[in-house]
């Protein structure tokens, strides 16, 4: 494959002019939590955008002007659809007409915790037949350093295109934080790495249309590593504080008090908080992409692997603590009624991806507990042990009937004073009751 730099001429110049004039046609492959917000932002900036996703239901929803992502207002989708700047297609047909293609497909882990890059491979294979001179391709899916060059470039250049002259390739990691009202696509800096300077220039121009600040780096691999570092930093520090929570419990200290006091130090310390495990698409998964990559080079990623072990064991630790709490009341876990409050992986989002609640509930069911749940965002969920469960109404009677109320997700809409007033035993994994008017009537246990 040829890598070159076209300077200010040819296909680069023509595409740059279309990007600057907002006349470039854009296809976004994948309309999930990353792709739909991105497609909307580009449409609102004036581009004609087509979302390409094999999920017909998602495409139909977008074309009706509806949103299925909590952070994306349906009215905004409807406005762009009505203006003719946003539509969706379950077929790859729009790719051949696109000037810019942005790949936002999932990158999960296999059951063996190896990266599953099949979605990237499938997207790249589907795109290869639609490539034409003057196209910019950007990968946003989180993956291991080297993916852009190892997986994407061979497919993009297989028709003899010179990267940096005929076609242009870059990587820019998504930084979407579901439910975050402060940091959005617009005000979150966008890291961008291009294969050549011309590739970088075009990608920076594209993202400058929708973000306040772009951050250029020297290569796609550097940009890939940036995202891995960000989430590895969080995973390791969460693993550390989860282990500290277990230590504090063992020696009779309150981890939440310890964290609050440590947080008063104005330098050298950033607070992280314990919980029932890691959830979401990024933090439990991204660091293990690097572990997999380094394993092939006979390099051990000790911190990452240890943090993964600690975090993966937290659901089991929570179940053991619930069992201990019931034991204090002379009750076995088997046959006890456990009401789980909140099952999403973080507050105030309808997102179950990698939520530790699913593991916690399965473990409780395996041990014979009678498990129910309430979550204002999730009406039904599927568990291997119980099949499909429907959420229950959060009534005073439901709280009082539970042998233990397990607080998993601290949604803002919960009335913790009410929970504390009616529950008999509470196991709080989020320190949610601390700010409520706790009258001491319930037996309260905290992580």
Residue 2's pLDDT is 55
Q: Which two tokens stand for residue 39?
A: 């497609």
CATH superfamily of 239-446: NAD(P)-binding Rossmann-like Domain (3.40.50.720)
- Provide the residue-wise pLDDT of the chain in tens; the chain has 447 residues: 555 554 446 899 999 999 999 999 999 999 999 999 999 999 999 999 999 999 999 999 999 999 999 889 999 999 999 999 999 999 999 999 999 999 999 988 877 777 888 999 999 999 988 999 999 999 999 899 999 999 999 988 777 899 999 999 999 999 988 888 899 999 999 999 999 999 999 999 999 999 999 999 999 999 999 999 999 999 999 999 999 999 999 999 999 999 999 999 999 999 999 999 988 877 888 888 888 888 888 899 999 999 999 999 999 999 999 999 999 999 999 999 999 999 999 999 999 989 999 999 999 999 999 999 999 999 999 988 778 999 999 999 999 999 999 999 999 999 999 999 999 999 999 999 975 556 667 899 999
**For domain 10-218, which architecture applies?**
3-Layer(aba) Sandwich (3.40)
What DSSP character marks residue 152? I
Q: Among 379, 376, 384, which residue's Cα sits nearest to residue 413?
A: 376
Q: Among 19, 14, 11, 20, which residue's Cα sits nearest to residue 163?
A: 11
Cβ pair 374, 405 in contact under 8 A: no
Phi-psi region of 240 (alpha: psi -120 to 50; beta: other; left: phi over 0): alpha
Place of tokens 């320190």: 431
Residue 7's pLDDT is 44
CA distance linking residue 305 with residue 239, whole number of Å: 10
**Which one of the listed residues 199, 248, 282, 404 is annotated catalytic?**
282
Q: How far is CA 153 from CA 134, 163, 171, in A?
A: 15, 8, 11
Q: Among 315, 311, 319, which residue's Cα sits nearest to residue 336?
A: 319
Domain boundaries along the sequence of the chain: 10-218, 239-446
Residue 56's pLDDT is 97
* Sequence-ordered strand ranges (E) for 240-358: 337-341
Cβ pair 304, 290 in contact under 8 A: yes
Q: Which two tokens stand for residue 319?
A: 């179940």
Active site residue 104: no
Residue 6's pLDDT is 47
CA distance linking residue 11 with residue 171, whole number of Å: 20
What DSSP character marks residue 36? H
Q: Which two tokens stand for residue 100?
A: 């810019």
What b/e string do you get for 43-52 counting C-beta neighbours within 10 Å, with b at 16 or more?
bbbebbbbbb
CA distance linking residue 107 with residue 358, whole number of Å: 20
In the three-class reduction of DSSP (H, G, I as helix; E, B as strand; rest coil), residue 310 is classed as: helix
Q: Among 99, 85, 87, which residue's Cα sits nearest to residue 43?
A: 85
Residue 355's pLDDT is 95
Cβ pair 329, 425 in contact under 8 A: yes
Q: How far is CA 339 from CA 147, 342, 389, in A?
A: 43, 10, 13
pTM over 0.85: yes
Topology agreement, domain 10-218 and domain 239-446: yes
């Amino acid at each position: 494959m040829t890598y070159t730099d076209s300077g200010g001429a040819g296909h680069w110049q023509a595409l740059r002019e279309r990007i600057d004039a907002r006349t470039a046609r854009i296809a976004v492959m994948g309309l999930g939590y990353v792709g739909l917000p991105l497609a909307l932002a580009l449409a609102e900036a004036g581009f004609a955008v087509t979302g390409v996703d094999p999920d017909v239901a998602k495409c139909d929803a977008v074309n009706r002007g509806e949103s299925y992502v909590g952070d994306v207002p349906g009215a905004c989708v409807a406005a762009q659809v009505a203006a003719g700047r946003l539509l969706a297609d379950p077929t790859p047909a729009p790719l051949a007409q696109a000037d810019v293609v942005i790949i936002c497909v999932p990158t999960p882990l296999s059951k063996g915790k190896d990266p599953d890059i099949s979605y990237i491979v499938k997207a790249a294979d589907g795109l290869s037949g639609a490539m034409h001179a003057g196209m910019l391709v950007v990968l946003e899916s989180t993956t291991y350093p080297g993916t852009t060059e190892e997986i994407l470039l061979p497919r993009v250049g297989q028709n003899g295109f010179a990267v940096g002259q005929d076609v242009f390739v870059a990587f820019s990691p998504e930084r979407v934080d579901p439910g975050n009202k402060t940091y959005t696509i617009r005000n979150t800096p966008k890291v961008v790495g291009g294969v050549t300077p011309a590739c970088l220039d075009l990608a920076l121009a594209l993202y400058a249309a929708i973000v306040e600040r772009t951050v250029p780096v020297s290569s796609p691999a550097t940009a890939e590593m940036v995202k891995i570092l960000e989430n590895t930093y969080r995973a390791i520090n969460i693993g550390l504080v989860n282990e500290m929570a277990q230590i504090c419990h063992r020696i009779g200290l309150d981890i939440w008090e310890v964290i609050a006091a440590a947080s008063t130090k104005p330098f050298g310390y950033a607070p992280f908080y314990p919980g029932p495990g890691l959830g979401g698409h990024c933090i439990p998964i991204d660091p293990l992409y690097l572990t997999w990559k380094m394993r092939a080079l006979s390099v051990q990623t000790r911190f990452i692997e240890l943090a993964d072990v600690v975090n993966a064991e937290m659901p089991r630790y929570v179940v053991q603590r619930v069992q201990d709490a019931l034991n204090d009341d002379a009750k076995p876990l088997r046959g006890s009624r456990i009401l789980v409050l909140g099952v999403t992986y973080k507050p105030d989002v309808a997102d179950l991806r990698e939520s530790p609640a699913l593991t916690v509930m399965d473990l409780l069911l395996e041990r014979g507990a009678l498990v129910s749940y309430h979550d204002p965002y999730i009406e039904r969920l599927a568990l291997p042990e119980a099949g499909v469960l429907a959420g229950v109404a959060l009534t005073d009677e439901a709280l009082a009937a539970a042998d233990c109320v397990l607080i998993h997700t601290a949604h803002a809409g919960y009335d913790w004073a009410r929970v504390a007033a009616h529950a008999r035993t509470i196991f709080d994994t989020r320190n949610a009751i601390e700010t409520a008017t706790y009258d001491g009537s319930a037996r309260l246990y905290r992580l």
